Structure 1
Amino acid sequence: MLLAMKNKRGSKSAFVDELMSITNPKECVISELQTLYSTAFGSDTAIYQKLTPIKPIAIEGMAEFDYLQKQP
């Protein structure tokens, strides 16, 4: 996660305040920055449900495990 976004997720004003506190900004293409901002904070952005966690698998039990162990 970007340092500017740490503990500021979902808050436009906290994000902007953090950006305005930077005294040595990096050069960037403004149109790209505007696109990123509108993607993150636009009113039409979709909020997705968290993905369901999957169970870990034991690769040792896979039929192809012998091939995975071989070194090139």
Structure 2
Amino acid sequence: MAFGKFETTIVPSQFGETFKVNTPVVFKLNDHLETGTVTKQLKNSAVVEIDETAENHQLMVQSNGVVIVNYKHMKKI
């Protein structure tokens, strides 16, 4: 049995083509608009590093500053 990190190529869906890594985005989370930067693309969503503000301190603590957001729920800034 082999253990270790497996590298697989993830091909984003057609919605993800406009959300490359380092793209600044805006999205709604818990009825609040948040901003962030795409750090990794997945098939139908992206890992987004949230921009820290005074209002989202609790979210930053709970999520360690990252969330997964569906491409359909994001817009480029």
Under TM normalisation by the shorter chain, which class is it?
A: under 0.3
**Higher strand content, 1 or 2:** 2
TM-score by length of 2: 0.19
Q: Which has the larger radius of gyration?
A: 1
Greater relative contact order (Cα < 8 A, sep 6+): 2
**Higher helix content, 1 or 2:** 1
TM-score by length of 1: 0.20
